[in-house]
Amino acid sequence: MYLEHFGLSDYPFDGLPDRRFYYVGGAQHQSLGLLTTALSRSGSICVLSGPSGAGKTTLVRMLMRSLPRRMRIITIDDPRTEPTMLLATILRASGVVATSLESVADLTLKLRTMLEQSIAQGIITTVICDEAQGLSDEVLEQIRYIFDLEGEGGKMINFLLVGQDELLTHLDKPAHAMLKSRIKIFTQLPALKSEEVGAYLAYRLQQVDCMQPLFTKRAIAVITKKSQGLPRALNAIADMSLTLAAQKKKPSVDVGTVKRAAHLVRFNQVGFKQTAKMWLRELFSTGLYARLGVIVGAAACAFGAFFGAIYLNEHYHPVLTLEEGLISDSEVKARYQDLTSYLFQGRSAQSRELYLFNQAVAQAYFKSEAFATLFKLHGYALTQDNGDGTITEDVLAEVKLQSLNQNGTLAEAVSYNTPVVIGLIDDNLTPFYAVLYQISDDIGQLIIGNYMFDVKLSYLEERYQGSFTLLFPYIGDLSDLQSKTTDVRKAMQKTLSPYLERYRQHALESTNREANLALTLYDEQKTAVEQARRAVRQGLINQVGLDKSDDQIEQEVSAKLEGALAEDATYQAALVNMLAAEQKSTELEERALRIRAISLLLNDGFERALQLYLDDQNLEELNYSAVALLTLSFSDGPRLINVVPFQAAEPTADIGLNLEQILSQAQEQAPERDKAQRARSQAARPELPLPQQLHNMQQHRSAPQLTQLSWKEGGAC
């Protein structure tokens, strides 16, 4: 119907129970957690209530999935059952032969036997009664009798009563006081709040591969009003709205379309005329005048009770008003001022930042917007002339960039040392997207919409959803390296050769530096060995004595020296350290010779340089993740943390440094980084020429390794 028009993979508002589309809001999450905890063991009666269409049945389906495997779940959907039929239904669902023609005593005995056997086998029995507001008083009393059956371990069965709000009124009857006292949990499933409706619509659209918002803000407000926050009504209005918008070829759903859809699905059928007719019919009916005396009497009693309570309260229990309490009590006044400063927007910097952050998160449900921000950080921005504003792979190729979508930890995302788009989750368990721009110490800077926020790394680690996207210099299709066409393969090698040559030079410099350090350490350990040898020799001379001739002393010392050296711990430790330093120096010199022998100008130079890089990174083949790390290490793009890539003492086994290593390097190099930043800020920043083929783009590239971003509402970076 409208799938092809909006590019959707499935109907997002079909209304059928589908686990993909289940939106877990605050109330749903709390109810699901409470019921799962209570029903995971025997001996609980729980009540789940809510208006019709609030999603109670769907929540029960999710609950059944989350309960333990060794759980026997029995559902009773028809409330018009009788006590004997209730017992027989539970027994038959448990595999016991029973009929409603048997007596209650016989059925109860069978039920007790079945429950005791189930408890012995570790099986928990839970009975779910849907539409429980229609259960008769006798059936509710029978539920209490069944629940009171106890074995050696206590209660042996669970009950979950699911119904509309009338169920609570039904349970408040005096006849059900004993049953109500046994109920462990009362939980309600209210309608969605106004701020949750937009998240609900965005979440279901994301599940069908919709990357653009389809409903305007005013349309969402009308949907909230017409549906009163009930998911069933929401699905019907949203589905009809998309159908009408597709028929008129509209790119999005506006207010008029939503109002028309609400009228068609008959959620605003009762208008002014119908309301007036209903009141007039009730006004002139005989039933109203027959109840008029009771109504007048009840009104008089309520009037007397109200003014009587006011009189007694004023004369016997005088209470200060809120204003008087604030004026007279300094502590209350101070707390009230702190609370208002925190809650009301603009009263303090903290509340204003929190408000802006929540507002930005509420509008960051689509990854395409965060990806456009990442595109800006690399120096480019799409203009309004660029079609629908979508950043495709062709657009990236024109500006010599390439994207990489990865699933991994936050440490892996940071290891590339470039701003990344990361998926997070908000307080309502709804995914949103932001650009992780920069990290320093334990603070990460997030760009959401037109604002930049400082958040703690612990917040990012808790909310991170395991996926990230980054941009790196364009290299093309890696499969070209395996192409049988010589020109294609040579072209790809020519693209990667500058990066491999820089890596080779860096590896050679690092190896030479480490070899010099190892050689210096070898000389130091060699001196330590000689000093320990002299100390042992001198000790032997002192033992022999000075009353003998020099030749005798020399002979005795020479005979005992080797054995004394073998037993001296200081000498042996120094000897082991010297040999280790010598071996390390030899290995580094051999590595330097191998690296120095690599020349990309020779026929096999590219393969040898590539193998050097793969061996250092413990990779079997060159993939896009390794290419991104290689090219970003020697590019002048924006940096997530201002550290020099591959600045480890020796090649690391991982593709990139972990988060702790990067942060420690950033702290160690802070003075040099600050000095470089001051030099860059004083230097002139020439604008790059605008390529002729990019007439539909604006290029505003800034200096490399940008460390501070001036990000204002409506502005650009």
Q: Which amino acid is at 413?
A: A
Q: CA-CA distances (angstroms) from residue 573 to 519, 536, 560, 579?
A: 18, 14, 20, 10
Q: CA-CA distances (angstroms) from residue 530 to 536, 578, 694?
A: 10, 11, 71
pLDDT value, residue 540: 84
Tokens of 22: 């289940």
219 Cβ contact list (under 8 Å, min separation 6): 241, 253, 254, 255, 257, 258
- Please, are residues 421 and 434 in contact by the beta-carbon 8 Å criterion? yes
- Please, are residues 382 and 395 in contact by the beta-carbon 8 Å criterion? yes
- Please, are residues 402 and 396 in contact by the beta-carbon 8 Å criterion? yes
Q: CA-CA distances (angstroms) from residue 39 to 22, 68, 147?
A: 21, 9, 13
Tokens of 265: 């699905």
What gap in Å lies between CA 188 and CA 50, rounded to an integer? 5
Tell me, letter by letter, the H, E, C secondary structure of 608-621: HHHHHHHHHCCCCC
Rounded to 5 degrees, φ, ψ at 484 are -80, -15
- Please, are residues 67 and 181 in contact by the beta-carbon 8 Å criterion? no
Where residue 646 falls among pLDDT bands split at 50, 70, 90?
Answer: very low
Q: How many CB atoms lie within 10 A of CB 281?
A: 10
Tokens of 113: 């036997």
- Please, are residues 452 and 445 in contact by the beta-carbon 8 Å criterion? yes
Instruction: Give the pLDDT mean for 536-546.
Output: 79
Q: How does pLDDT run across 6-32, given as a tens digit for each residue?
A: 888 888 887 666 667 766 677 788 888
Q: CA-CA distances (angstroms) from residue 698 to 460, 497, 690?
A: 32, 30, 8
Closest CA to 449 of 437, 434, 438: 434
Question: How far does CA 578 lie from the centroid of its chain?
Answer: 51
Q: How does pLDDT run across 573-585, given as a tens digit for each residue?
A: 999 999 999 999 9
Between 484 and 706, name the one with better pLDDT.
484
pTM: 0.46
What gap in Å lies between CA 448 and CA 373, rounded to an integer? 8
What gap in Å lies between CA 544 and CA 535, rounded to an integer? 15
pLDDT value, residue 345: 54
114 Cβ contact list (under 8 Å, min separation 6): 91, 94, 96
Where residue 635 falls among pLDDT bands split at 50, 70, 90?
Answer: confident
Tokens of 626: 């390794």
DSSP β-bridge partners for residue 48: 162, 187
pLDDT value, residue 267: 54
Instruction: Give the pLDDT mean for 677-683.
Output: 39
Q: Which amino acid is at 649?
A: A
Max avg pLDDT among 151-155, 269-273, 516-520, 547-551: 516-520
Q: How does pLDDT run across 448-463, given as a tens digit for each residue?
A: 988 888 999 999 999 9
DSSP string computed for 469-491:
EEEEE----GGGGG-SSHHHHHH
Lowest mean pLDDT among 63-67, 166-170, 333-337: 333-337
What gap in Å lies between CA 169 and CA 197, rounded to an integer? 29
Instruction: Give the pLDDT mean for 397-425.
Output: 93
Residue 446 has pLDDT above 90, yes or no: yes
Helix (H, G, I), strand (E, B) or coil at 48: strand
Tokens of 129: 């009664």
Tokens of 29: 């999450």
Q: How does pLDDT run across 231-282, given as a tens digit for each residue?
A: 888 888 888 988 898 888 888 889 888 888 888 886 555 445 555 555 565 5
Pairing mode, if any, of strands 401-407 and 420-425?
Answer: unpaired
In percent, how much of the chain has pLDDT > 70? 78
What gap in Å lies between CA 299 and CA 243, rounded to an integer? 51
Lowest mean pLDDT among 198-202, 403-407, 704-708: 704-708
Mean pLDDT value across the chain: 80
What gap in Å lies between CA 369 and CA 449, rounded to an integer? 8
The CB-based long-range contact list for 258-265 (8 Å cut-off, 24+ gap) reads 258/215, 258/219, 258/222, 258/223, 258/226, 259/222, 259/226, 261/237, 262/222, 262/223, 262/226, 262/227, 262/237, 264/240, 265/233, 265/236, 265/237, 265/240
Unique residue bearing structure tokens 């007036």 = 276
What gap in Å lies between CA 258 and CA 240, rounded to an integer? 8
pLDDT value, residue 348: 58
Instruction: Give the pLDDT mean for 402-418.
Output: 93
In 71-157, which ranges are E strands? 71-76, 124-129, 150-151, 154-155
